[in-house]
Amino acid sequence: MRKAQLILALDLETFERARQLIDEVADAVDIFKVGSQMFTAYGPFITRYLQSKAKKVFLDLKFHDIPNTVASAVKSAVGLSVSPNRDPDFTPLFMLTVHTAGGREMLEASVHAAEAQAKALGVPRPLLVGVTVLTSAPKDAGTRQLVLERARLAQESGLDGVVASVEEAALIRRELGKDFLIVTPGIRPLEASSDDQKRVATPKAAMDQGSDFLVVGRPILHAASPREAALKILGEMKR
């Protein structure tokens, strides 16, 4: 079983609720996912708030456009690693997503843009991971092969890893090696509802299959005590 890290998906409607949650789970969670909902509402403010708290940010915007546009977006994202106030505790952007459906040229452009901008700014390059197939998509006979093809393309294009469900994680790990990162969303404790996710898994199952990062949202966000829910999941991961 691989040692994996927990990512809390900060999929909330208001900053005030996000702030309360961040404070409540601060001693348990180090990595937070900022997706389209929060970033559309608050922009870089939400990422910089987390970074000023010395938290790692997984920027999950799934960039997918023509190569030049995605390269420019990635360049802007790398710029989020620079503290506007020169805060010594400010944490550089940890990881971001692009969509593998954009093709090789787009993926390679994103890697080159990230490397060049990180060097120009004197900051670490964030990890780049490619989204393969959304976990809300129903499973069919071709899903595993499509995910593997997109994961292989991501690796060949220079990305650090991919986002994939637990059902494809073992295949990716076997075919693409031990150093290629796998981020697995749709993680649910045994007693939790799968909600709108079609391909879900428990923390243990994901780790058994080779996942490096486990993304959890609603089982923590909607819990009576988010901190206790996070600690329970971390306990499952340690066991």
Residues taking part in catalysis: 62
Asked if 131 and 99 touch (Cβ cutoff 8 Å), the reply is: yes
Nearest-angstrom CA–CA distance, 27 and 11: 19
Nearest-angstrom CA–CA distance, 48 and 12: 17
Nearest-angstrom CA–CA distance, 85 and 172: 41
Residue with tokens 């901008």: 117
The letter for the amino acid at 142 is G
Could you tell me which residues are beta bridge partners of residue 213?
5, 183
